[in-house]
Amino acid sequence: MREVVPVIEVEGLSKVFSGKTVVNQLSLRVEKGEIYGFLGPNGSGKTTFMRMLCGLLQPDAGSGTCLGHDLLSEVEQIRSRIGYMAQHFSLYDDLSVRENLDFMARIYAVPKRRQVLAETIERMGLGPFVGQLAGTLSGGWKQRLALAACLLHEPELLLLDEPTAGVDPMARRDFWEQIYSLTAQGISALISTHYMDEAERCNRVAYLAYGNLLTSGTAEEVISAAGLSVWSATGLGIQELASHLKGLPGIELTIPFGNNLHVCGTDPEQLEQSLRPFFAASRYRWEKQESGLEEVFISLMSRRLENDDG
Amino acid sequence: MVSKEFLQMRRDRITFAMMLGIPVLQMILFGFAINSDPRHLPTAILSADNSVFSRRIVAAMQNSNYFQVVKTVSRESEAKRLIDTGEVQFVLSIPEQFSRRLVRGEQPTLLLTADATDPAATSNALTAFRIFAEAALASEFRGPLSYLQGTVAPLQVTVHPRFNPEANTRYNIVPGLMGVVLTMTLVIITALAITRERERGTMENLLSTPVRPLEMMVGKIIPYIIVGYLQMGFVLLAAHYLFQVPLSGNLLLLLVVSLLFIAANLGVGLTFSTLARNQLQAMQMAFFFFLPSILLSGFMFPFRGMPRWAQYIGEVLPLTHYLRIVRGILLKGNGLTEILPNLWPIALFLLFALSIGLKRFRKTLD
């Protein structure tokens, strides 16, 4: 059997904007049929990385392939096989839904255009809106239209840059259902997001901060690699508790979740030792917890910042 | 609020530069370049009489500042060609036996043929000519010839204003307007069309598709070429039916060569759109181009009235050459050979504008 070619494979990819390194030596591998989540704070280089993948930006260093084509020399071939959905709605507000889709289909020279158009409209449930101007659609429907537009030419890889930003939970769920059904057909997707629940829906995730890849792998791998112990305290006055805990040995992070305070550290014994005096206080109910992606990412970020300071 | 406006103004360097640049440009153009009383108009002499008197008249023309004798021709056909191509503004024809008839007091006629497509350029010079021609000769009427002094007009001057005998400015303005309208709308529209794509973020989407830059540019240009032709048709119809401008030349030729001019303007617009970051900047750049185009091209003020440097700038602008072509075809009935000298500068300009545009219009966003 032939070795399976990864959908994306990049090595040491870098991009510098006027002296500032936006993407630093990024190496990444995305397999066929995978949903790959891309996380990280704003300005961490997610968008830049995606733009490099679809040839909008030229990498300053590094190499890689996308769908088996070289990133530097075979941009044209890559472009016709990927679907890129930019962060901001980037279709024409003053064209109707159908006109927008028709335009994109022509741009990609989609064969049997009418048929494909009708099928896409049907599948994405855009039927009731075909005559409406895209600018008048609501956020969720705009996003659906944008997704429909980048599916017309049956791409093998979707690059979706924060597709669900500013979209209501219902529409988000629908959107993910679409993504699942697409990946079931063998399409791969690289999705950047700020939502943790979406990160957990991905097959694998990568966490980027200030251009550096901090961690990557399946959610379980990322969590176990971080080796974080988490205690949660429930009760009133957790802000006060947080201020008491700050700076104690073994306590790396305290993250409030409503009436909950998550206390994290990498050394479980030291963490427990520092917390023991507080266990006695009846105000709080203590519970040991599995760490989630969110705690891991926050801790990675704060460790990163400490390293930069030191 | 005020300080916020100033802060934003400072951030937008191009707009700021334009705000200062446009008044300066206007000042320079209006103050230095524009002169509605043109001097040193190129003149050819077709002399069939080589005498003291004719030399005297030619010398007086030179001295008057209004005329600059650039050529002496010996055949009528040559003189006609010079006027048709616009190489000279005037041809002074001195008839045979001019001096003999002058001496005999037969009031010989000097024929001054003018290219009067632009009456503003020629009227002052024509008035001046009658006066100083006589004055020049008066100083020769000495000694044995003193009997000619004081006679009513020793010679006659016939002025033959060609192409626009009634000195109707409208004939000059209306065909010129076609070029101006094309420049104004096409540069602005194309400059905005691409900047708008960028501003709205739709450019990012387009760039991620397999469309090539050339395809995109051509795709952007073609609709506006059609718009350009519609405008032309409109102006031509209005010129003919509303203003009764004679359309004496080959309209088909005009339509064909206009394509080059339209494309040149679109090329400028595209180049601006790759430079401008937002629609306001694109608009200002278009205006920055439009201003010298309209003032230095010979549309509003006679081209030959401007100082040397302004003429050089004017020679670069496609509108200058297009105006000559349009006036040449419509008013003078020029054919391809006569307009050729004005055709290649436009082609050169187009090539230049498009190559800058394409170079700047790289497919990547950085």
Nearest to A84 among B208, B211, B363 (CB): B208
Quick one: average pLDDT of B141-152? 62
Tokens describing residue A301: 């970020």
Report the interhelical angle of A169-184 vs A139-151 (nearest 10°).
Answer: 10
Interchain CB distance below 8 Å, A55 and B363: yes
Q: With contact defined as beta carbons under 8 Å apart, do B191 and B269 qualify?
A: yes
pLDDT digits (tens, 9 = 90+) for A173-183: 989 999 999 99
Q: With contact defined as beta carbons under 8 Å apart, do B167 and B161 qualify?
A: yes
| CA distances to A227, A265, B87 from A308, in Å | 21, 19, 74
Q: With contact defined as beta carbons under 8 Å apart, do A235 and A260 qualify?
A: no
Query: B205 touching A, CB under 8 A?
Result: yes
- What does the alpha-carbon distance between residue A110 and residue A133 come to, in Å, rounded to a whole number? 23
In chain A, % of residues over pLDDT 90: 22
Nearest CA-CA distance, residue A109 and chain B, Å: 9
pLDDT digits (tens, 9 = 90+) for B169-226: 777 777 788 888 888 888 888 888 888 888 888 888 888 888 877 788 788 888 888 8
Nearest to B208 among A17, A56, A91 (CB): A56
Query: B362 touching A, CB under 8 A?
Result: no
Confidence of residue A156 (pLDDT cuts 50, 70, 90): very high
Is the complex ipTM more than 0.95?
no
Domains of chain A by range and CATH? 8-217 (3.40.50.300), 223-309 (3.30.70.250)
Give the H/E segment covering residue B41: strand B41-47
List every span in chain B annotated with CATH 3.40.1710.10.
41-162
pLDDT of residue A1: 43
- Burial bucket for residue B51 (CB in 10 Å: 0-12, 13-18, 19+): middle
Nearest CA-CA distance, residue B307 and chain A, Å: 44
Task: List chain B residues with CB under 8 Å of A49.
Answer: none
pLDDT digits (tens, 9 = 90+) for A271-299: 888 888 888 777 788 888 888 888 888 88
Nearest CA-CA distance, residue A160 and chain B, Å: 12
* Nearest residue in chain A measured CA to CA from B213: A76
Q: With contact defined as beta carbons under 8 Å apart, do A170 and A65 qualify?
A: no
Q: Name the more confident of B322 and B13.
A: B322
- What does the alpha-carbon distance between residue B322 and residue A52 come to, in Å, rounded to a whole number? 45
Residue length, chain B? 366
Tokens 């030596």 belong to A25
pLDDT digits (tens, 9 = 90+) for A197-226: 888 889 999 998 888 888 888 888 888 888
Confidence of residue A36 (pLDDT cuts 50, 70, 90): very high
pLDDT of residue A100: 92
Nearest CA-CA distance, residue B195 and chain A, Å: 14
In chain B, % of residues over pLDDT 90: 0
Interchain CB distance below 8 Å, A55 and B366: no
Contacts of B274 (CB under 8 A, 6+ apart): B194, B357, B360, B361
Query: A195 touching B, CB under 8 A?
Result: no
Ordered DSSP codes for B86-141: TS-SEEEEEPTTHHHHHHTT---EEEEEEETTSHHHHHHHHHHHHHHHHHHHHTT-
Fold of the domain spanning B41-162: abc type-2 transporter like fold (3.40.1710)
pLDDT of residue B152: 58
Lowest mean pLDDT among A48-57, A301-310, B79-88: A301-310
Nearest to A90 among B201, B211, B364 (CB): B201
Confidence of residue B33 (pLDDT cuts 50, 70, 90): low
How would you classify the pairing of strands A82-85 and A157-161? parallel
Give the H/E segment covering residue B234: helix B213-237
Confidence of residue B130 (pLDDT cuts 50, 70, 90): confident
- What does the alpha-carbon distance between residue B1 and residue B19 come to, in Å, rounded to a whole number? 20
Q: What type of residue sits at position A227?
A: G
Q: Name the more confident of B279 and A2.
A: B279
pLDDT of residue A6: 87
Average per-residue pLDDT for chain B: 79
* Sheet with A61-66, side-by-side order of all strands: A20-30, A8-17, A61-66, A69-70
pLDDT digits (tens, 9 = 90+) for B92-111: 888 888 778 877 777 777 78
pLDDT digits (tens, 9 = 90+) for A65-91: 998 899 888 888 898 899 999 888 889
Q: Is pLDDT above 90 for B139?
A: no
pLDDT digits (tens, 9 = 90+) for B253-293: 888 888 888 888 888 888 888 888 788 888 888 888 888 88
User: Which runs of E-coded beta strand occur in chain A?
Assistant: 8-17, 20-30, 35-39, 61-66, 69-70, 82-85, 157-161, 188-192, 204-209, 212-217, 229-234, 253-257, 260-265, 285-289
Q: What type of residue sits at position B282?
A: A
Question: From the candidates B209, B218, B363, which should be mutated to test the interface with A, based on the most A CB atoms within 10 A?
Answer: B209
Q: Is B162 helix (H, G, I), strand (E, B) or coil?
A: strand
Q: With contact defined as beta carbons under 8 Å apart, do A151 and A120 qualify?
A: yes
